[in-house]
Amino acid sequence: MISLDWVIVEVSKNAGGPWTPVFNWGDNIVDSNTNIGQAGYGAAGEADNQQIPFSALYGSGSLQTGVAIDVDAVALPGPGIYRWVRIRSPLGGDNDSAEVDAIEVLP
């Protein structure tokens, strides 16, 4: 399993914004545009370092470690090309930084 830190992922069409949050683990609102939200994680709160089993994560085999985010489902002004991604780790919780190993764009 992984320990999911509080993390906010935002996208933008321009380097200067505006920025649209597409994943916010830590606001206690289920991220229904993700595989973990659809699996029910976050419904009882979004704890810092939340244990998420590999079986609920995106991927296959030993690479089943990802959180899949459907950006077009929530990004404004709607579906499009978002060239910029910003990842933030908010203060609070265990005050440890979020770790992101990779970002993969899927069709």
Residue 35, in any domain of the structure: yes
Grouping H, G, I as helix, E, B as strand and the rest as coil, residue 11 is strand
Domain count, the chain: 1
Asked if residues 74 and 97 have their Cβ atoms less than 8 Å apart, the reply is no
Under-70 pLDDT residues of the chain? none
What integer pLDDT is reported at residue 80 of this predicted model?
A: 84
Sequence-distant (≥ 6) Cβ neighbours of residue 52 within 8 angstroms: 1, 2, 3, 4, 36, 41
Element (H, E) at 61: none
Task: Convert the pLDDT of each residue in 34-50 to its tens digit.
Answer: 999 999 999 999 999 99
Is 50 inside a domain boundary?
yes
Cα angle 12, 54, 34 (rounded to 5 degrees) comes to 30
Cβ-contact 57, 67 below 8 angstroms: yes
- Which range of residues forms the domain containing residue 58? 2-88
